[in-house]
Structure 1
């Protein structure tokens, strides 16, 4: 964090540029006296329901609007706004009554009293005035953390540490650009504000660097006096990047064995595999006396790490976001329903185990999401793994937005890191440990005070293969379910050559009739109990003997697990256990409902249509013969040919056509889903590859409608039940009692599916829904823990790739620009940004100032038509006017 410390005020005044005076203007005016109205302020500390408190509120409002009103608004002094928001008279009264008056605010300097700042008030509160111009001064002070604390006499001796000279020069440079007129006489824009707007347009519109330079050239040609703008994107980027936070480049072994940091920072070869740190460049031999000049050594692999501390600090240093970082404590509705991770059992248990951490609501709880993507599409095999952090302190409508995601690192490589991801996570784990034990000194712009910021990691989010990489649990084979672990019920199919996971009767009640039913299941009765989730202590006990050496050249971890013949699939002790609190977390790694739901829908539809990915084929029927179950569906040899008896879920050609015609005729509101009909081939009775969200819509809303008509009840009923299960699970508001009911229902539904479909249908992704309701009961709503937002963020990162030979560098540079402009856009007015842009289809309706009992939603299309109402419709309209028009209340009474 950047902070100043000078010997005296006069020295600071001489050294600072003109624009820096804004930061000190409150302190400088301590000698200026204004007319003081002596008022009794003891009512501030009284209960809000008393008449004295309400009378005092009215006196304050009259005094403030008489002395400091601007556009009929004043700064709100309630506990939530803390003099940062300008509101009208009615809103001020509501806020003071509902939220309470800031008790420390006894000298009303922002509302017309003597200009002297109390200890806990910040100058940034004064700067956020409603105006037509951009708030560049506020932005610079928030970006560099230069906020005065205390009065003038205390400013020179406050707790600000000295900052590097380079940071001071950056601040002064930006201040000068923020004061410099765009052209002589321009009052609307400064050089910095106009440049930020241009860069914002570039990022919002996806303008290339070349087109941006052509735009600069066009503007300077049309306006010859405009000589303040840079000549190229490179020069513009140099100005704007001073507002950014930067990243570190850490060299890595090309075989993922180690990072060249700490004691290995100066090594030139890997101490594990002996590989060179730098690329070996083959050069032609020199001719005669000519010698080739050796350039800078090129590292073989580079990890780009974005420090976390400075990014968390900026969330609190910015007056635009600081208050929202306490929403989980101050703004959350606490009625027992699950709307946010803060309502969950995992969050509350963490607070109970670590009371010192939870004592300050500003301490940040994070989620970690990671997955790989290919910047080249399908052309070249490549896999970049970004690691993203999600701050859960923010409100639900903000924390899952890509603009609030924190990119932690970019892991390079032509292949995924797999278990070696722990090597690359070392810098992040070290910083998380520092944030847990020591914290970092941070300025809170909403309260105007310094505090020690701490942070903790709650859980990870990934798809199922990523689950194996992050947790160290091999999600394949006999014990492939990480929640069932060593108690996983699995079977190996002789002809399909894969492991399937059935045995869901264990999750039913002990007295359920299905437990005794051997004939319609696998020929056995079920008396076992449902497996219990492993605690952190259980996991540590199972992995304590593992000593893994990372690197691609090491023996495959899966093969080593097979040789040991372990009862569990643990292949390593995850690096997350280096966090002192990780062992006590109730849920450490999340199953991803997005991919599970998509795979479930894909298996159902492809099996119904008998496509190539169908789970019902000749091999599946031969497995029934080998297992000695499902005699009515077993393959039969007739005249040298294998005959497959039709199953209850087998569709006739006419029914397949009906299913495809229905899916091909569906239309959705714009933005609700993609055009599924374009992926349907009715004549071929096929559905081409759909996106995961398409399967989400198809399973929850479309499939139940058509499946009732083309399949018998024994098939349609469990399909409709599984659809209802996912739809209720994905609700934004959950009840613990409903989740307990979902646990029972999904177990019964999977048992019913076992009676219908062959064993080959039940791969690991069909089994995992049995655990989703349990995880939601522990960690809260699934839309805070699924992969939809992180994968959308990956698409944004992918769009930053401009140099195809250096994709990771392009992504890092593009993200820094985007991160900087997202921060700056909070201080720009009248410009379209990611934070305030209109919806895709905006009808431009403004709030109606007059009473209207027929509010218009949307805008009319086409011409005006006249309609003659029948008697019934006329009577209904007349009755609606009588009961809903407030102007008629006097006559009705």
Structure 2
């Protein structure tokens, strides 16, 4: 976001969204107290910046623009107050607050505020609710604050510490959810769009929107009181770690938690203006299973919205209703899935769907668990089930694992101590293996020794040289020559992409070294969908290229904007064969 992005048009946005609310209370008796207070703030904030102002700024838009610059460039509160005082002194008719606190309150009153919640530096607890006044956690005995002494006295004197300025060691930023959800219904256009999933969605059996999916339908069937009220919202939850310092030299992991409202049409629900930042969890380290500590404020609001609901004014229908919400989905990669759910996604029970019936094999030399029994999911009469030579040297006639129902999962969790906190990706592998990138390839000496240990793929077993000091690895069918790697990297280097589809992938290509570095997860998805199959079709033999092309096709078709249930069932059968 640049200096101007998203703030120049704030006055127009408010005017278009809410209109002139001066006489709204007289015209409509459906306003609750919260709505009356909000619309009054909007009208007051929309006052002219100065008499007969024609430059397109209102009082609110000008202050938001200034406050954005303050945050962007790190101005202190004192310097911001000095600037406001100078502007007011130079232009006496300027209708702006005269201090940083008053400017901040203008923004806060519109529901754009957040709460600072101190946390234990060891992630044991939040200093929140009954612990809000504590200064030391009783288990780890770590202090809540960094004790920073301030010095008083003249430069000629020996200044001694006089006061202690308390700064929390770790602080969670929490952006309350309920006020922002209520604001959605205070804009007539947005309030109408929140009914799109029921009133305007095409219902022909194809899946274009989450409301066409089975999870949404199951919720509607099971909770009739929730589904019959079209105001009620279905939410999605996403989180992942990122480095906020724009450099890989600094190891720091910050975890934002974002919520999406899926009642909107599909072209609106994932737009940035409708994605709500709920939590900003500080680093410097990844949270692991202690994520639940920081989710407490959000979970408390979600429970309140589900159980009792919140009085909310609907400006489209001109009435107050009881809004309820349901959290239906989480969006995350597999490691984050483990942190958010508590189910370990590594080791012998890594698959949350197969659960205790997960098929795994521990590789002695690579020292890790792998999962190779995909043939369990093939049709019972498939020829590959009895093919020993092409797989692990055994036949496979077991049925696929049965997925647990929600009731069974809840029953299993009854015996779990649910105490908070501490108690006393494939595309990377494919590219790393094809280009033989050290540290990323899955074809290395240890893997070859594992093949020997298992007694399969004898042509790939490591061979000791005559002097006994080195080993020789046979060339695998997917191995590329230097020339083929150059062609592969050259295709990615010369690729021109549409703006916004992915980052500049060509910058990640080191053509002289024939390697790829520094691409992001979204770039990996884009390469898997569209780019990977272009070079491999002309470089690799068919029995290697075809499975990879089918894998790329699977994800591309799965992520298309419209898909039928029959096609999903076909993809489910096809991906089993592709993996095998």
User: Shorter-chain TM-score: which interval?
Assistant: 0.7 to 0.9
Distance 1:518 1:389, change over 3 A: same
2:334 aligns with 464
Q: How does 1:533-682 map to 2 (within 5 A)?
A: 533-547=403-417, 549-551=419-421, 554-555=423-424, 599-612=425-438, 613-639=440-466, 640=468, 641-682=470-511
Deviations 1:824-857 (A, max 9, x none): xxxxxxxxxxxxxxxxxxxxxxxxxxxxxxxxxx
Measured in 2, the distance between the counterparts of 1:721 and 1:547 equals 43
The reply on whether 1:692 has 2:521 as its aligned counterpart is yes
Instruction: For residue 629 of structure 1, report the CA deviation from its aligned partner.
Output: 0.7
- How many residues get paired? 562
Measured in 2, the distance between the counterparts of 1:328 and 1:340 equals 8
2:4 aligns with none
Instruction: For residue 332 of structure 1, report the CA deviation from its aligned partner.
Output: 0.9
Distance 1:347 1:469, change over 3 A: same
Measured in 2, the distance between the counterparts of 1:235 and 1:159 equals 27
Instruction: For residue 223 of structure 1, report the CA deviation from its aligned partner.
Output: 8.6
Instruction: For residue 225 of structure 1, report the CA deviation from its aligned partner.
Output: 6.7
- Contact 2:49/2:94 (8 A) holds in 1: no
1:427 aligns with 297
Instruction: For residue 176 of structure 1, report the CA deviation from its aligned partner.
Output: 5.2
Partner SS for 1:742? helix
- Contact 2:258/2:276 (8 A) holds in 1: yes
Q: 1:345 aligns with which of 214, 217, 223?
A: 214
The reply on whether 1:335 has 2:161 as its aligned counterpart is no
Please say which structure displays the higher CA radius of gyration.
1
Q: How does 1:77-476 map to 2 (within 5 A)?
A: 135=15, 138=18, 141=21, 147-148=24-25, 160-161=32-33, 175=43, 178-180=46-48, 182-183=50-51, 186=52, 188=54, 193=58, 195-196=60-61, 199-200=64-65, 208=73, 227-229=94-96, 236-281=103-148, 292-295=161-164, 297-376=166-245, 377-476=247-346
Instruction: For residue 368 of structure 1, report the CA deviation from its aligned partner.
Output: 1.2
Measured in 2, the distance between the counterparts of 1:291 and 1:512 equals 83
Measured in 1, the distance between the counterparts of 2:87 and 2:93 equals 6
Q: 2:554 aligns with which of 713, 725, 741?
A: 725
Measured in 2, the distance between the counterparts of 1:339 and 1:393 equals 13
Q: How does 1:741-752 map to 2 (within 5 A)?
A: 741-751=570-580
Partner SS for 2:388? coil
Deviations 1:353-385 (A, max 9, x none): 000011111101111111222323434433222
Distance 1:421 1:209, change over 3 A: closer
1:774 aligns with none
- Contact 1:133/1:189 (8 A) holds in 2: no
- Contact 1:196/1:240 (8 A) holds in 2: no
Cα RMSD between the aligned structures? Answer: 3.8
Q: 1:511 aligns with which of 365, 369, 381?
A: 381
Partner SS for 1:425? helix
1:738 aligns with 567
- Contact 2:32/2:313 (8 A) holds in 1: no
- Contact 1:136/1:178 (8 A) holds in 2: no
Deviations 1:197-249 (A, max 9, x none): 573598599964669979x89x9699957543567877654544432342333
Structure 1: gaps spanning 5 or more residues: 1-130, 556-598, 752-893
- Contact 2:386/2:396 (8 A) holds in 1: yes
Higher relative contact order (CA 8 A, sep 6+): 1
Distance 1:540 1:179, change over 3 A: closer
Partner SS for 1:369? strand
Instruction: For residue 179 of structure 1, report the CA deviation from its aligned partner.
Output: 4.2
1:487 aligns with 357
Distance 1:665 1:513, change over 3 A: same
Partner SS for 1:427? helix
Partner SS for 1:474? coil
Instruction: For residue 334 of structure 1, report the CA deviation from its aligned partner.
Output: 0.9
- Contact 2:63/2:96 (8 A) holds in 1: no
- Contact 1:439/1:453 (8 A) holds in 2: yes
Measured in 2, the distance between the counterparts of 1:628 and 1:300 equals 54
- Contact 2:305/2:325 (8 A) holds in 1: yes
Deviations 1:751-802 (A, max 9, x none): 1xxxxxxxxxxxxxxxxxxxxxxxxxxxxxxxxxxxxxxxxxxxxxxxxxxx
- Contact 2:32/2:320 (8 A) holds in 1: no
Partner SS for 1:304? strand
Partner SS for 2:206? coil
- Contact 1:609/1:656 (8 A) holds in 2: yes
- Contact 2:148/2:164 (8 A) holds in 1: no
Measured in 2, the distance between the counterparts of 1:283 and 1:181 equals 40
2:6 aligns with none
Instruction: For residue 432 of structure 1, report the CA deviation from its aligned partner.
Output: 1.7
Q: How does 1:23-62 map to 2 (within 5 A)?
A: none
- Contact 1:303/1:409 (8 A) holds in 2: yes
Structure 2: gaps spanning 5 or more residues: 1-10
Measured in 2, the distance between the counterparts of 1:317 and 1:458 equals 24
Measured in 2, the distance between the counterparts of 1:289 and 1:602 equals 60
Deviations 1:381-431 (A, max 9, x none): 332222211111111111111111122222223222222222222222222
- Contact 2:240/2:257 (8 A) holds in 1: yes
Structure showing the higher strand proportion among its residues: 2
Measured in 1, the distance between the counterparts of 2:544 and 2:17 equals 66
Partner SS for 2:234? strand
Distance 1:717 1:206, change over 3 A: farther
Measured in 2, the distance between the counterparts of 1:614 and 1:498 equals 15
1:825 aligns with none
Measured in 1, the distance between the counterparts of 2:515 and 2:244 equals 29
Partner SS for 1:310? helix
- Contact 2:41/2:109 (8 A) holds in 1: no
